[in-house]
Structure 1
Amino acid sequence: MQKTPPITRGRKFAQVLDGARKIFLRDGFEGASVDDIAREAGVSKATLYSYFPDKRLMFIEVFRAELSRETHDSKALVNIDLPVHQVLPFVVQMLTGHLVSEFGIRVWRLSASEAERFPALAAEYYNSGPRDVQFKLSEYFEYCISRGELEIDDLALAADQLLQLCAVRVFDKAMFLGPASVTDEEIKQCCAGTVRMFLLTYGSKAVRDQVRSQEARPVRHSTAAE
Structure 2
Amino acid sequence: MATATAPLSTPAIPVDRPLSPKEIQIIDAARRLFLEHGYEETSMDAIAAEAGVSKRTVYSHFRSKEMLFVEIMEAMCQHFGLTPQETIDPASPPERYLCASAKFVLAKVMDPRMQSVMRTIAGESAAFPEMGQRFWALGPGNMTAKITEYLRAQDAAGVLSVPDPRLAAGMFQGMVAGPTFLPMLFTGSAPWTADDIDYIARTATAAFLAAHRPKQG
| Bigger radius of gyration among the two | 1
Separation in structure 1 between the aligned mates of residue 155 and residue 178 of structure 2, nearest angstrom: 26
Q: Choose the corresponding residue for 1:106, options 111, 116, 130.
A: 116
Q: Choose the corresponding residue for 2:83, options 71, 74, 84.
A: 74
Q: Choose the corresponding residue for 1:116, options 123, 126, 131.
A: 126
Deviations 1:116-157 (A, max 9, x none): 121221222222222222111111222333444322111110
Separation in structure 1 between the aligned mates of residue 85 and residue 107 of structure 2, nearest angstrom: 14
Q: 2:83 touches 2:143 (CA, 8 Å); kept in 1? A: yes
The equivalent of 1:141 in structure 2 is: 151
Question: In structure 2, the residue corresponding to 1:29 is in which secondary structure?
Answer: coil
Question: In structure 1, the residue corresponding to 2:190 is in which secondary structure?
Answer: helix
Q: 1:23 touches 1:32 (CA, 8 Å); kept in 2? A: yes
Separation in structure 2 between the aligned mates of residue 20 and residue 79 of structure 1, nearest angstrom: 38
The equivalent of 1:202 in structure 2 is: 212
Answer 1 or 2: which has greater helix percent.
Answer: 1
Shift of 1:185: 4.7
The residue type paired with residue 48 of structure 1 is V
Q: More deviation in 175-184 or 52-61?
A: 175-184
Number of aligned pairs? 199
Q: Choose the corresponding residue for 1:53, options 33, 45, 63.
A: 63
RMSD: 2.7
Separation in structure 2 between the aligned mates of residue 58 and residue 136 of structure 1, nearest angstrom: 31
The equivalent of 2:170 in structure 1 is: 160
Q: 2:84 touches 2:104 (CA, 8 Å); kept in 1? A: no
Identical counterparts, % of pairs: 29
Distance 1:75 1:47, change over 3 A: farther
Q: 2:26 touches 2:58 (CA, 8 Å); kept in 1? A: yes
- TM (norm. structure 1) is 0.75
Separation in structure 1 between the aligned mates of residue 213 and residue 181 of structure 2, nearest angstrom: 26
The equivalent of 2:202 in structure 1 is: 192
